[in-house]
């Protein structure tokens, strides 16, 4: 089976979903490929310095070499689900294991383990 996508993002982690959401807000469609069956496979906790994203659940102060910092923690699954909920239906494809990427003129051909070939304008 062959399908076409403007932008293919490999991995539905925080970076992949944030990139897809940023593109979506600019009106650019993307397809996110995730090899696991669901976000439940990622049960880790993520922490971050605050950079304007106020979605974290728990906060504490830390005194660092360069001054005080606010640190917030959140369950990774909750953050991933929150990002995913902002994306159009069908943007994330579970499970989709990429086995290879080939060039074909101006396009990239993304080969998946199930035999699907995605023709991507941008990889």
Q: Are strands 117-122 and 2-10 parallel, antiparallel or unpaired?
A: parallel
Between 66 and 25, where is the model more confident?
Answer: 25
Q: Residue 119 has what pLDDT?
A: 94
Q: Is the per-residue pLDDT at 72 higher than 90?
A: no
- CB neighbourhood size of 110 (10 A): 23
CA distances (Å), 20 to each of 63, 64, 107, 114, in order? 34, 33, 19, 23
pLDDT band, very low/low/confident/very high, at 27 (cuts 50, 70, 90): very high
Backbone angles phi, psi at 19, to 5 degrees: -65, -45
| Contact between residue 75 and residue 58 where contact means Cβ atoms under 8 Å apart | no
| Contact between residue 40 and residue 23 where contact means Cβ atoms under 8 Å apart | no
Which contacts (CB < 8 Å, 24+ apart) does range 18-22 have? 18/83, 20/87, 20/91, 20/92, 21/83, 21/86, 21/87
Q: 74-98, pLDDT tens digit by residue?
A: 788 888 999 999 999 999 999 999 9
Q: Residue 33 has what pLDDT?
A: 97
Rounded average pLDDT over 53-72: 62
Q: Is the dihedral of CA 73, 78, 80, 86 positive or negative?
A: negative
Q: 36-49, pLDDT tens digit by residue?
A: 988 876 555 454 44
What is the domain partition of the chain in residue ranges? 2-42+77-122
What CATH number does the domain located at 2-42+77-122 have?
A: 3.50.50.60
Specify the pTM: 0.76
């Amino acid at each position: 089976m062959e399908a076409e996508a403007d932008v293919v993002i490999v991995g539905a982690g925080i970076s992949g979903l944030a990139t897809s959401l940023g593109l979506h807000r600019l009106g650019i469609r993307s397809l996110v490929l995730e090899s696991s069956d669901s976000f439940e496979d990622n049960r880790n906790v993520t922490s971050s310095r605050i950079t304007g994203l106020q979605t974290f659940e728990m906060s504490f102060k830390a005194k660092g070499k360069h001054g005080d910092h606010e640190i917030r923690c959140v369950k990774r699954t909750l953050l991933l689900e929150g990002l995913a909920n902002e994306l159009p239906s069908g943007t994330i494809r579970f499970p989709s294991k990429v086995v290879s990427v080939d060039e074909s003129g101006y396009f990239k051909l993304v080969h998946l383990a199930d035999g699907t070939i995605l023709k991507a304008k941008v990889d």
